[in-house]
Amino acid sequence: MVSATVGRGAVLGAVALSLLAVPARAATGEVKAPSAAVLPAPDTTGLTAVLRSAVAQGAPGALARIDDRGSTYRVTYGVADRAARRAVDAGDRFRVGSVTKTFSAVVLLQLADEHRLVLDAPVNRYLPGLLPDDRITVRHVLSHRSGLYDYTNDMFADSVSGFEAVRDRVFTYRQLVALSLKKPRTNAPGAAYSYSNTNFVVAGLLIEKLTGHSVRTAYEDRIFGPLNLRDTFYLHPDTAIPGRHARGYLTPDTAGAALVDATAQTVSWAQSAGAIISSARDLNTFYSALLGGRLLSPARLADMERFSPVNSTTAYGLGLRRRTLSCGISVYGHTGAVQGYYTYAFATKDGKRALTALANTSNNGKVLSTLTGTLESAFCGKAARTLRAPGRPEPGGWDGAAGE
């Protein structure tokens, strides 16, 4: 094992970098990943710089883990807990936000594989009277092309007061759908991509109706258990993250105001759209298994990977996002934002290299934009171009749970 630690403070500036089972040149420490013939080796120096920048821009801490054909790269910077001053660890658990959507889509696609669901059938076939338009299909919901208004746009118009109003609340799925239906739809079914958490609330209702079990049971029986995801939980409506975890800090809308510890919450406002807890190891395992063909038939995985453009670099399939990087490589996964946490979780098309990165803050556009650089360092290596200056994400470029 090759490891190094540098920093500018005992805890806040601590950097931990470990490279496990990776061949290295002793003189320089430069590493070559086993997949170097296909992809450039991950740029761990660049990855460290990205996490350091995220902390400088307001995140208490940040972490990243790359799994690449049996080799593991871990990088951390900053703290997981501001009060205890505990350094963030690459094994910490955290709230994954909208990465949950891929899990929900996988369950429904498995049901399609079992001939219990038809993707192009109306949602109302399975949930009579739920939606005002029989033309809205399951495929429209999973691809954000239903036109259903995202109720979180109103719920979190003010980040802190909106969050505090729902932090401990418990909603039913139908209550959340009803909030959406108070507003006009954004487009006709199938006419356009429009990201909406409402779609994956509907997905949760479909899962429970078709399986006869809770979403939690479906996740556990179909994904968590078979993949041995030991750090991954769906605990709704419990508010605590079990075991060692990074605390999450919400950035207020008022510049200079103190961060709000948002760790304890029901996430009932999101549920099947954003309430899973996991770790970098488990998310890498999940996306590697999915893209490697271990969770779906080839036909259903192909359905998931039928992408529609979002902007010049991103496209969306069924609960799955494709992002094209500066070096021309495309990666597949999802982003997540829930109060206190930003997550990137992506893998190569074959699932053989996967990255998960986390910053334990939210409502901070600079941190969000900077965290994109973890993809460049992980998949493009040292050939990655210089990223654009941090700022607000490109329109349509972020698929986190809304309200941030």
Catalytic residues: 98
Q: Which two tokens stand for residue 267?
A: 């996430």
Alpha-carbon gap, residue 67 to 92, rounded angstroms: 16
Of 36, 18, 135, 4, residue with least CA distance to 352: 36
E strand or H helix at 56: helix 44-56
Contacting residues for 74 by C-beta, under 8 A, at least 6 apart: 16, 17, 18, 20, 63, 64, 65, 90
Q: Is the Cα dihedral 78, 388, 357, 326 positive or negative?
A: negative
- Tokens 């899990």 correspond to 103
Longest CA pairwise span in the chain (Å): 68
CA count, 13 A, side-chain hemisphere, 61: 29
Of 29, 18, 7, 30, residue with least CA distance to 77: 7
Say if CB 399 and CB 270 are below 8 A apart.
no
Of 96, 83, 173, residue with least CA distance to 130: 173
Say if CB 298 and CB 287 are below 8 A apart.
no
> Which residues on neighbouring strands pair with residue 67, listed in sequence order?
72, 354
The string of DSSP letters for 229-287 reads: -TT-B--TT--PPPSSB---EEPPSSTTPPPEE--S---TTTGGGT--EEEHHHHHHHH
- Tokens 């993949």 correspond to 227
